[in-house]
Chains A and B, each alone.
Chain A
Amino acid sequence: MATKSLKARNNDIANTQRQLEILSNGIFANGELPTFATKIKETNQFPLRPKKLEILQINLGYMCNQVCDHCHVDAGPDRKEIMTIETMNQCLEVIKKTGAHTLDLTGGAPEMNPNFRWFVEEASKAGIKDFIVRSNLTIIKANKKYHDLPDFFKKHGVHVVSSLPHYTKGKTDKQRGDGVFDKSIEALKSLNEVGYGMPNSDLKLDLVYNPSGAFLPGNQQALEQDFKKALKADFDINFHNLFAITNLPISRFLDYLIASENYEDYMTALVDAFNPSAVANVMCTNTISVSWDGFLYDCDFNQMLNLKVASKVQHISAYNEELLQNRNIVINQHCFGCTAGAGSSCQGVVA
């Protein structure tokens, strides 16, 4: 279990150009693995185009109290990239006038941004229908100053989406670090206590499951049932939905795939499981992702690969929804991760 980000370790995978090189050529001889573009051309879905904008996803910074093995953000305590008040204000202007019904705050641990609470308060005034905060759970228990987060979330009617790789301690701690499971359980209990995740409660608490290694997620519904049964029986914990997401071959997960000699098999498995009907609903078709420094991306993954939107408008300060609607989505080999099997997005399966 590493304790530092790839960036702090000067690992060459931290370089996005290097990641794109591996994804494009990798260990595959030219032509051995079809390109994502070729695959979607076969079903007349090229170029990939956005539909109506529904989700504005804002990354408040790459700082995190955890250093999970598979983090696609390469987040960690050593990452200093944090959204400034100035950029937050630019985001607020956009939130007020956007047609998107969902605001999705992510990170790193978004709560670690010193202006997080102010931003949530301001953004919640804008009357967004679904206001999501992606919380890693342990942050709630990491330090006294975060202990009241469940009440704070409740006050603003925030929809909490939390990652929990497994309902057993062994599998969770292996991926996320020693002690993460116990702290996550404690955090889930505090969320339940204020009403989050309870049956029929409007305080939405969803969990995100991602596989703990080089394999694809199984059936989302079956996993949700297993999680519900185990968390209820073992800890009396309630939650609403489970989103199963596929690990995309970028950043720390890419590093792991290469180091464990799983890269070739994993990419082949993703391509073999390519599901043309998942393409229409991939996340980038209804989302814009904003980075900590205000740049615009088709999705959080493209953000981490530094693939900005293919549009005249590339920064939140010049945001223009109409112009952005007119773009082609930037794709690469990592997109196979969103279209394998039942597909994968921040909201789980898409097909």
Chain B
Amino acid sequence: MSKNYYDAADLRKFGKIIEWNEELGTKFFDYYGKVFEDGALSAREKSLIALAVAHTEQCPYCIDAYTKDSLQKGITKEEMMEAVHVGAAIKSGATLVHGVQMMNIVNKLDS
């Protein structure tokens, strides 16, 4: 039994989720595959978005997958780090903008 909740080798087994529900699993992977094809956005741009979201979601599997995927697409480490900062900026902005709600409540309650 692995001692960790996350095991890098589990990423390779992702496809196995189909075995326990073929219909939904297949639908998911079809959709997933389609999303990452070249479209109005290039596959390269989509990889950078995925990399940023992988960080804000803090999913180690996705970070692993989209770091490799970015390397495969010839994306540089500077571009990758900038994408992560975009994710971080949105995440911190999203935290801070809720400060307005806090301010509203304080202003209403605190005479």
Residues of A within 8 A of B (CB): 166-168, 170-171, 209, 211-213, 215-219, 222-223, 226-227, 268, 272
Contact = CB atoms under 8 A, between A and B. Distances in A.
Interface string B39-76: 00011100000000000000000000000110111101
A272 B73 contact: no
25 contacts: A166-B74, A167-B74, A168-B76, A170-B76, A170-B78, A209-B74, A211-B72, A212-B71, A213-B71, A215-B68, A215-B71, A215-B72, A216-B72, A218-B72, A218-B73, A219-B43, A219-B73, A222-B38, A222-B43, A222-B44, A222-B73, A223-B73, A226-B73, A268-B12, A272-B12
A218 B68 CA distance: 10
Interface of B: 12, 38, 42-44, 68-69, 71-74, 76-78
B23 to A, nearest CB: 25
Given A211-B71, A219-B43, A171 B76 contact: yes
Contacts of A223: 73-74
B46 to A, nearest CB: 11
Nearest to A215: B71
Contact of A218 (B38, B74, B77): B74
Secondary structure at chain A's binding surface: helix, strand, loop or mixed? Answer: loop
> Which of B43, B68, B71, B73: most chain A Cβ within 10 A?
B71
Contacts of B42: 222
B72 to A, nearest CB: 4
B76 A217 contact: no
Contacts of A272: 12
Contacts of A167: 74
A234 to B, nearest CB: 13
A289 to B, nearest CB: 28
B68 to A, nearest CB: 5
Contacts of B68: 215
A9 to B, nearest CB: 28
Contacts of A166: 74, 76
B84 to A, nearest CB: 18
Contacts of A171: 76
Contacts of A222: 38, 42-44, 73
B61 to A, nearest CB: 14
Contacts of B74: 166-167, 209, 218, 223, 226-227
